[in-house]
A and B are shown apart, each in its own frame.
Chain A
């Protein structure tokens, strides 16, 4: 708490104290609400052989005899022995597909968004609206046509096919996000660069791109995450176990008749850790306004 508010706290009135209590109670409830399922997942993951009897009906779940068995099962590819390499191949699938999606999204969206933000041309508004419209349809709606398309292209069960599909939604979204970023970058700095001796392209590469770096990082992160977490299309388009991405792998633990909640929860943790790490790393970029100070501000 900052200095002014701490000095003010000495002379707090009863109403202010009541307000503070109410606010903190509400926040604590919200935190509990958000963390409760996470607590369940952690408990499940650390409890070997599934939750029996009393643990399963506990209001506040807690791993009574913590064990890493579930993690061993997941990392062993669900069967152990010869399947041990499988899980890592699936991790590889997820990584490659997500990174490629992020790369394609940024590579296509950056110049597209810049053009839309800076130049007036016929169709720029209509194009923007069309891009927005593509975001209105749920991915499932296009699952069947996409399946047929990929089948015709012999890209079912392949990483490339999945990247292709993911990019089709990631690119419009990225264009939308980046356009917003480019609009906020003052055109003055590009003009200054051009007067200084830069070509239009040099001004873009050496001045605009660095200034847009935080926005580009965030956009890439979003594309990566949406691909990393995507389940429905992956489940539809992938049928070979070796081609699976992690969400599909996870879902396999919870079958129609037999639900292995322990490995499922352990897998969920394994899958979320990289995303959390990425968020942590990107935090600074998310917050920092790199353009601050370039113009009068």
Chain B
């Protein structure tokens, strides 16, 4: 419960003092917000046959927090969500929701609400009946059902659709109904399984903001699965990056973005993805340099501390956005431009630093973006604080602060 949520319209309808005094419970009643619950997973393992999907996942979502699980397809994020929902049973490990061990409980006893990627609306029921379905099953009184449907409907703009069948609605409308069906439940925990992946780009951006707004209003504990890094970055309070059945890194989105723990996280987050070249560490005039693949740049020795040894092989990572066109300064790299993608306010220059080296992308700003032409050579500098170093064999960051958890 934070100050922002107290300023929402519904919270202001009650006299402020009791709302402050009674805290969460009063606000829940007023704003019809879901009960907040903490969700803790410990050592979740799951295999399909001999194929391990989850290999020991620990997850902790505090009350009212928005956690996003992000990772490439096949990393186990959806399976983990289904384990929380009770649609899959973990081979090992435990799931705890609101201080209750629900590991062996069927989905209906876990008091979670879920929004499916396919929306999974009941095809033979109208929107109103879809929203009421779970409440009726749980024996909620008709008056209360009507009240909650009215609330959710006005929150999501479903008022004109309540009598329609799913097949008579657009994708965006169905998506809203799916969210409404979760909202009316007032559940302990809200699960989202790639809820935006079937929407077109414009609608996706709109609904993304809408989801964040709903969360700020309802303060519901949320676990959201996506492979879309933009959704992950913009929605999350805490980001959990998964890879190969384990959590590779967790943290606030910007921390993870700025201090990726591994090459995998570094290249997975950020678009276009981080450039990586192989090189070595050298010390020149009392200054540590990373040198390789056509880049020679000073580095922030405070950040890498004890990991710095003369001649050590490293993978050097620079995001396209962290290159700058060198004016009078000494260039760290020279990019031979093959293609320029002009986006108006910026441009991505694709090319090579060295004939045999990997393909490199640099972002150019403003007038540099307008002037860039294929075939040119552009001198670039890098902010030393923005240079990432990874161990070439383990793929882990040399950054002492890029901790896993």
State whether A294 touches B108 (Cβ < 8 A): no
Cβ of A290 within 8 Å of any chain B Cβ, yes or no, is yes
Cβ of A123 within 8 Å of any chain B Cβ, yes or no, is no
Among B24-32, B165-173, B331-339, B352-360, the stretch that binds chain A is B165-173
Q: Which residues of B contact A194 (CB under 8 A)?
A: 86-87, 106-108
Among A62-70, A96-104, A207-215, A231-239, the stretch that binds chain B is A207-215
Cβ of B114 within 8 Å of any chain A Cβ, yes or no, is yes
Cβ of A189 within 8 Å of any chain B Cβ, yes or no, is yes
Cβ of A256 within 8 Å of any chain B Cβ, yes or no, is no
With contacts defined as CB atoms under 8 Å apart, how many contacts are there between chain A and chain B in the complex? 98
State whether B122 touches A207 (Cβ < 8 A): yes
Cβ of A292 within 8 Å of any chain B Cβ, yes or no, is yes
Cβ of B155 within 8 Å of any chain A Cβ, yes or no, is no
Q: Which residues of B contact A294 (CB under 8 A)?
A: 119-123, 166-167
Cβ of B264 within 8 Å of any chain A Cβ, yes or no, is no
State whether A296 touches B119 (Cβ < 8 A): yes
Question: Contacts A195-B85, A196-B134: A290 and B123 contacting too (C-beta < 8 A)?
Answer: yes
Q: How far is the CA of A226 from the CA of B168 in the complex (A)?
A: 36
Cβ of A293 within 8 Å of any chain B Cβ, yes or no, is yes
Cβ of B288 within 8 Å of any chain A Cβ, yes or no, is no
State whether B169 touches A191 (Cβ < 8 A): no
Cβ of A198 within 8 Å of any chain B Cβ, yes or no, is yes
Q: Which residues of B contact A186 (CB under 8 A)?
A: 118, 120
Cβ of B405 within 8 Å of any chain A Cβ, yes or no, is no
Cβ of A297 within 8 Å of any chain B Cβ, yes or no, is yes
Q: Which residues of A contact B284 (CB under 8 A)?
A: none
Q: Out of A191, A202, A206, A210, name the residue touching B87 (CB < 8 Å).
A: A191
Q: Out of B85, B108, B165, name the residue touching A198 (CB < 8 Å).
A: B108
State whether A189 touches B123 (Cβ < 8 A): yes
Q: How large is the interface on A (under 10, 10 to 19, 20 to 34, 35 or more residues)?
A: 20 to 34
CB distance from A297 to the nearest CB of B (A): 7
Q: Out of B85, B110, B123, B191, name the residue touching A292 (CB < 8 Å).
A: B123
Cβ of A291 within 8 Å of any chain B Cβ, yes or no, is yes
State whether B137 touches A192 (Cβ < 8 A): no
Cβ of A295 within 8 Å of any chain B Cβ, yes or no, is yes
Q: How far is the CA of A196 from the CA of B138 in the complex (A)?
A: 8
CB distance from B35 to the nearest CB of A (A): 15
Q: How far is the CA of A15 from the CA of B345 in the complex (A)?
A: 55
Q: Which residue of A lies closest to B198 (CB)?
A: A296
0/1 string, B91-133, CB within 8 A of A gives 1: 0000000000000001110101110111111111000000001
CB distance from A287 to the nearest CB of B (A): 14
Question: Contacts A293-B167, A295-B119: A196 and B87 contacting too (C-beta < 8 A)?
Answer: no
Question: Contacts A194-B107, A196-B181, A197-B137: A189 and B121 contacting too (C-beta < 8 A)?
Answer: yes
Q: How far is the CA of A23 from the CA of B169 in the complex (A)?
A: 38
Cβ of A188 within 8 Å of any chain B Cβ, yes or no, is yes
State whether B124 touches A199 (Cβ < 8 A): no
Cβ of B185 within 8 Å of any chain A Cβ, yes or no, is yes
Q: Which B residues from 172 to 198 make CB contacts under 8 A with A? A: 174, 181, 185, 191, 198
Q: Out of A206, A207, A297, name the residue touching B167 (CB < 8 Å).
A: A297
Q: Which residues of B contact A211 (CB under 8 A)?
A: 122-124
Cβ of A193 within 8 Å of any chain B Cβ, yes or no, is yes
Question: Contacts A197-B137, A199-B106, A202-B137: A192 and B171 contacting too (C-beta < 8 A)?
Answer: no
Q: Which residue of B lies closest to A291 (CB)?
A: B123
0/1 string, A57-78, CB within 8 A of B gives 1: 0000000000000000000000
State whether A189 touches B120 (Cβ < 8 A): yes
Q: How far is the CA of A292 from the CA of B121 in the complex (A)?
A: 10
Q: Which residue of A lies closest to B166 (CB)?
A: A293
Q: Which residues of B contact A193 (CB under 8 A)?
A: 122, 133
Q: How far is the CA of A191 from the CA of B84 in the complex (A)?
A: 13
Chain A CB within 10 Å — which of B86, B119, B169 has the most?
B119
Q: How far is the CA of A213 from the CA of B125 in the complex (A)?
A: 13
Q: Which residue of B lies closest to A191 (CB)?
A: B87
Q: Which residues of A contact B169 (CB under 8 A)?
A: 293
Q: How far is the CA of A266 from the CA of B171 in the complex (A)?
A: 54
0/1 string, A174-203, CB within 8 A of B gives 1: 000000000000101101111111110010
CB distance from B169 to the nearest CB of A (A): 7
Q: Which residues of A contact B85 (CB under 8 A)?
A: 191, 195
Q: Which residues of A contact B166 (CB under 8 A)?
A: 293-294
Binding site for A on B (CB under 8 A): 85-87, 106-108, 110, 112-114, 116-124, 133-134, 137-138, 165-169, 171, 174, 181, 185, 191, 198
Task: Show 9 A/B contacts (Cβ-Cβ < 8 Å), sorted by A.
Answer: A188-B117, A189-B121, A189-B123, A192-B120, A195-B108, A211-B124, A294-B121, A294-B122, A296-B174
Top-4 shortest CB links A-B: A293-B167, A294-B123, A196-B134, A188-B120
